Structure 1
């Protein structure tokens, strides 16, 4: 199954995450991602979410399942609403 999830980067106790499309059977950081959509810095809040919206909506349309955290971030950023619009 293809998932949209976070891959951890950054220093110890100072994480930065990449938003990636990856096979759910691969390890979080060891598996090669299918695509990289953007990045997220939780220390700076939702404003730091930099995602290519068109590509994210395209992957959601192809059936990629967002994790719970990604779904929450996408709702706050309005990406899930754009995906719902594109389905109509």
Structure 2
């Protein structure tokens, strides 16, 4: 089954997460099908904290992919912040 989840990157004490579509059997930071966005929890100043390509996300969901709980929470946050700006 395809899942949309976070893959950790960055250095020690400076996490950076890619939001990826991957097979559920692959390791967390292993091979993935497509990078959908990113999440930077330690962003400061003008740095972008969260970015999601909604077209790609919707494409994967339409094809049967499931979002992890964390990605679902981040997506709701992204929609809430993106709506007033639009």
TM-score (norm 1): 0.80
Displacement of 1:17: 0.3
Displacement of 1:51: 1.3
> What per-residue deviation string (whole Å, max 9, x for no partner) do you get for residues 2-42 of structure 1?
00000000010110000000001110112x10111111101
| Count of residues in correspondence between the two structures | 77
Corresponding position: 1:51 with 2:39: no
The answer to which structure has the higher helix fraction is 1
Q: Distance in 1 between the 2:77 and 2:20 partners?
A: 18
For structure 2, which runs of at least 5 residues remain unmatched after alignment? 81-86
Q: Distance in 1 between the 2:79 and 2:59 partners?
A: 15
Superposed CA RMSD in Å reads 1.7
Displacement of 1:77: 1.4
Q: Distance in 2 between the 1:75 and 1:61 partners?
A: 18
> What per-residue deviation string (whole Å, max 9, x for no partner) do you get for residues 58-84 of structure 1?
1111111000000001111129xxxxx
Runs of 4+ in structure 1 over 6 Å off: none
SS at match of 1:78: helix
> What per-residue deviation string (whole Å, max 9, x for no partner) do you get for residues 33-59 of structure 1?
0111111101238x6111111111111
User: Match of 1:86?
Assistant: none
